[in-house]
Structure 1
Amino acid sequence: MKTSLAYPGLVKVVPGFNYITVPELLRQKATECGDMPYILFEDDSWTFRQVFESANRIANGLISLGVKKGDRVAVILPNCPEHVFAFFGVVTSGAVELPVNIDFRGKELAYVLEHAETNVIITKTDLLPHILEVWKLGPGRSIVCIGGSDVQGVISYDDFVEKSSLRYPNVALDVDDPAGLIYTSGSTGFPKGALISHRYKVVFGAITDWSYRLSPRDRIMLITPLFHGVALWHGIMGALYMGLPCAVISRFSATNFWEQARRYQATIVYAVGAIPAMLFNQPPDPRDRDHSVRMIWAFMTPGRILEAFEKRFNTTIYDGLGQTECGRVYINYPPIRKPGSLGLPYEFSDTKIVDDDDNEVPLGEVGEICVRAPSIMLGYFKNPEATEQALKGGWLHTGDNGRMDEDGFVWFTDRKKDVIRRRGKVISSFEVQDIIGAHPKVLEAACIAVPSDLAEEEILAAVVLRPGVIPPEPEELVAWCKERLAYYKVPRYWIYRDRLPKTPSLRIQKFILRQEIKVDDAVEIPVTKEGEEIRRRVKA
């Protein structure tokens, strides 16, 4: 397969940076930081040396099972110390770590495991039945299970680790060898497997330091799943690169968040887009400012709450955007910040905006966002056509539409596949749902295109209301939108839902919405150019 390395300039080289593999970085930090705390979980902690030793044991155990350099080893675990040990153990063995969402079931779990051609899985007892439903043990296949199992062929994690050597395996690895196979969030359908190199993971850990100005006094807290890149690359790898302690939270809870931050004396928190809004929606508390969190990493925080959030909680949101294929490439934080934008391309990266023919568009015009960066995937596993399409011309095509302003700030407009074409106009579903989400009674909203009787498309808004509010009539939401949007951007169809389908990174899965929602179940409110409205319920 033709990888990103075949495109000169696509993977940016950072001048003077010491490129090493993940196992070598862990080995280096085990020597430099030794008995300093690295991983914190509940009431326990593990030093850099202990994590290094655990990784060695797992690596040697995998090698004894027949795992070879380049093999895929699946890690299907919740947030726990063993997840961290398994990640480092897999890459230390020379294998490629395959982190899998613990909520995957049936076809989606089978798809990832079979497509990745994995023969070894590290998991825990309560997840084992779901795995065995779709993935059968047999010759050449093994499951290492925390908590053990009576199932023949399943290996006890404790026995597996205790019987393995502490010796560093010293497998010959290059920085451009694959270290991870990350299946993308699936916001547009079945995910593709992005191959991630050692170079990518180590550079990304360093970028955490460069971008967010970390200091030896910082303490990191992770609240997102370890099978997601935010936690693994920014959190675990960032803490490793800087030699900092990193608290791993088993599961995010908006009600417990600040108490956990106080418990671990966290100064840096890595989150995802929806989490600041979820925290902001919690009832005010006298202790809202009683913590040591100086920075919350997030992306695309709604501009309407950004400054209010920072004032209420006495912290700063470092906003931006990235994706599995390239990591985070934009930063947006004071003193140079434009609320609502993705921010500026960080140092050592390039951005251009192109049209459908791959021609660069003028400043201010909308097109597809393309990037070059130090952290670019090698390509899509077993999918050379998708790889070629994504990397054509030596630029990563993100699939996101946006524009660049005169100051170099990049503004997201929509996923390329989610753009709505209505009455000869191109409409950003992101813009419309952001306006709806600002209504006092609305928790969140998603807008999708539905067929029009005339031609092109109409807009359907799926709305989740805040708990406890009296549901507004759809006309109230239409009036709200009319005051803030051009008439042709106001949705024609409205439907209330208890929840919206989301990826592990809390991005709305609009392809699932399109499958679930029937226009016949929605309320139709046509809005003309003059603002006249006619309400009628389409037959349910």
Structure 2
Amino acid sequence: MHYAELKQAREELTGPGGVFEITEIEVRGHPIRTYRHAPPSVREVWLSTVQFADRPYLVYGDETISYADAHAQVNAVAAWLADQGIVAGDRVAIAMRNYPEWMLIYWACTSCGIAVVGMNAWWTPDEMAYALNDAQPKALFTDQERLERLRQCEGVAADLKLVGVRLSGPAPGVTAWDDVVAAGGAMPDVVVDPDADACIFYTSGTTGHPKGAQLTHRGCVGNLFNLMYAAASSALAVERATGVAPPETPPIPAVLITTPLFHVTANNCGAYATTAAGGKLVLMYRWDPGEALKLIERERVTSMSGVPVMARELINHPDFASTDTSSLLALSGGGAQVPPDLVLKIEDKVATARPSTGYGMTETCGIITSIAGDFFVDRPDSAGPAMPNFEARCVDDDGNTVGVGEVGELWVRGACVIKGYINRPEATAESITDGWLHTGDVARMDEDGFIYIVDRKKDMILRGGENVYCAEVEAAVYRHPAVAECCAFGVADERLGEEVGVAVVLKPGETLTEAELREHCGVIMARHKVPRYIWFMDEALPRNASGKFLRRELRDRLSPATVPA
């Protein structure tokens, strides 16, 4: 394999005078690695795309929005925000499906130094109310379904400005999107601080409430450069090793976005890289592998990124063989580890596409590592090497770095690490030490710097790319009056990676069915957090000496086959 060439390519690209030259600066009192030639803010990234005016940008159903149209609408939204007195340092929330307007609002806000609050479209009214009260946005852009949920929220600021997107009709107190766009206007001339918040993306919290991660402009731009660097270093290494040069004029990217834009996988990775290259974003109403195949053929999609199960469902679909997928150059997975068998299946079944993945998290504005093509096929159990604007190390429980090949919690430090969690100084201090982010993932690193994710240190279930924390599930279950004790854990699932399971002990004399408990949880939590597997136990749950549930013991002892009929 081409590991010597890869090392040489990495050093050449990131060294003095390199396109991706790395320098060290001080941010928030800590030394961090960053790209010398990166633009200072997201504003410059968006404004640079005006050169692609005639190209198609956003495709949704039978709608196509060009870059010229997109810039006109982004400018109109930015002007409307200024007219409302919403300025740099303020926040604006987005709660909707993956409609084209999501991206237009995002670019308008970030280009003005206004932080986007990405609201999970699956949240219940209570969860929506929590985030709105936590983030305190000045305005909310919302679609019909989320607007109806908002009407059920209690305690939300009465002066919150509302803009309705794709509503079924006029709504009292809501400004129509068409009216905002029709007013036109110019992009305000502002200078955006690189270390200001670009967006607030919520990640599930271990205490039952999600935490609002502060992704900075420096971090978001750094992630874009990581994506470009990953492709460039891999291509250069392969060219040096094989003598085969990539095409002088690579195809303009057309990327199928399959995961929610309120996550870094779709937004910071898929949308950023495609937009910066003047490519086309193809959006879906909801994930459907048959529809995805039709879009790949119709729109000549070059890359599809989503949680690994989506690539599996795509290549296993009965229409796969009869669909023209010859435009596909990459099938990538994020949000969950790609099973090694899937890496090899992509390589074998898709003639033109190579497998790829990026391991990362909300707290790093996107990817920490990346691996693709020949390297991924050679090491299908690896997440790849860390990107050059990260320092990475595996540590023991005392924070001491472990040796090569030894297992420890992965810590990273660099430009893409979040500023912290809004209104949560204790959670910030617990997660970040001297600039080092504790990822919560247990990993090992080999002699080439390739990282292998072994397990998760946190009590977290990763269901189809969505983080579900055990404490949050347990908090909801405990709210049922019949429950004495419960313990949640992940149950292996071929399709989603993991499903939510919970072992429950009822109070003496109480009765409860699986259906009743799921209905109870569904009122409190988003649907994807509701337990699929429920075991009603006849004895107390196992605990250790300090009284904590032995979660792993329960997970190992119970299986879907033991769920009572």
CA distance in 1, matches of 2:118, 2:79: 19
- Per mean C-alpha deviation after superposition, the further-off stretch among 282-291 and 371-380 is 282-291
Percent identity reads: 27
Q: 1:54 — aligned with what?
A: 73
Letter in 2 for 1:238: A
Q: 1:442 — aligned with what?
A: none
Q: 1:157 — aligned with what?
A: 177
Matches within 5 A, 1:136-151: 140-147=159-166, 150-151=170-171
Q: Is the 8 A contact 2:97 2:285 kept in 1?
A: yes
Matches within 5 A, 1:389-400: 389-400=430-441
Q: Does residue 1:361 correspond to 2:392, yes or no?
A: no
Letter in 1 for 2:34: V
TM-score by length of 1: 0.75
Q: 1:423 — aligned with what?
A: none
CA distance in 1, matches of 2:527, 2:305: 16
Unaligned residue ranges in structure 1 (runs of 5+):
420-428, 434-445, 451-457, 467-494, 522-535
1:43 to 41, 51, 62: 62
CA-CA distance at 1:7 after TM superposition: 4.1
Answer 1 or 2: which has greater strand percent.
2
Matches within 5 A, 1:220-231: 220-231=255-266
CA distance in 1, matches of 2:58, 2:493: 37
Instruction: Indicate the SS of the match to 1:86.
Output: helix
Q: Is the 8 A contact 1:277 1:301 kept in 2?
A: no
CA-CA distance at 1:42 after TM superposition: 2.4
Q: Deviations over 1:284-329 (max 9, x none)?
A: 7432674311102213211123212321122211123100011201
Q: 2:506 — aligned with what?
A: none
1:106 to 113, 119, 125: 125
**Change beyond 3 A, Cα 1:293–1:70:** same
2:276 to 241, 244, 247: 241
Cα RMSD after superposing both structures: 3.9
Q: Deviations over 1:101-156 (max 9, x none)?
A: 22211221111111111231101233211012115676532111124555432112
CA distance in 2, matches of 1:288, 1:365: 45
Q: Is the 8 A contact 1:447 1:462 kept in 2?
A: no
CA-CA distance at 1:243 after TM superposition: 1.9
CA distance in 2, matches of 1:461, 1:100: 25
CA distance in 2, matches of 1:128, 1:13: 40
Instruction: Indicate the SS of the match to 1:13.
Output: strand
CA distance in 1, matches of 2:134, 2:454: 32
Q: 1:89 — aligned with what?
A: 108
Q: Is the 8 A contact 2:38 2:221 kept in 1?
A: no
CA distance in 1, matches of 2:429, 2:489: 34
Q: Deviations over 1:411-468 (max 9, x none)?
A: 112221249xxxxxxxxx99xx9xxxxxxxxxxxx999x9xxxxxxx998746688xx
CA distance in 1, matches of 2:318, 2:56: 34
CA-CA distance at 1:33 after TM superposition: 2.0
CA-CA distance at 1:256 after TM superposition: 2.1
Letter in 1 for 2:373: P
Letter in 1 for 2:269: H
CA distance in 2, matches of 1:90, 1:278: 35
1:177 to 182, 193, 196: 196
Q: Deviations over 1:327-358 (max 9, x none)?
A: 20111223223112212112332210011111
CA distance in 2, matches of 1:37, 1:298: 25
Letter in 1 for 2:146: L
CA distance in 2, matches of 1:460, 1:80: 34
Instruction: Indicate the SS of the match to 1:336.
Output: helix
Q: Deviations over 1:138-182 (max 9, x none)?
A: 6532111124555432112211222242x1211231222111001
For these two proteins, the number of residue pairs brought into alignment is: 460
Q: 2:349 — aligned with what?
A: 312
CA distance in 2, matches of 1:389, 1:79: 33
Q: Does residue 1:65 correspond to 2:84, yes or no?
A: yes
Q: Does residue 1:131 correspond to 2:169, yes or no?
A: no
TM-score by length of 2: 0.72
CA-CA distance at 1:183 after TM superposition: 0.4
CA distance in 1, matches of 2:297, 2:427: 45
CA distance in 2, matches of 1:348, 1:174: 19
CA distance in 2, matches of 1:162, 1:104: 31
Q: 1:426 — aligned with what?
A: none
CA-CA distance at 1:516 after TM superposition: 5.3
Matches within 5 A, 1:211-222: 211-213=230-232, 215-222=250-257
CA-CA distance at 1:25 after TM superposition: 2.3
2:295 to 237, 241, 260: 260
**Change beyond 3 A, Cα 1:514–1:188:** farther
Q: 2:501 — aligned with what?
A: none
CA distance in 2, matches of 1:391, 1:464: 32
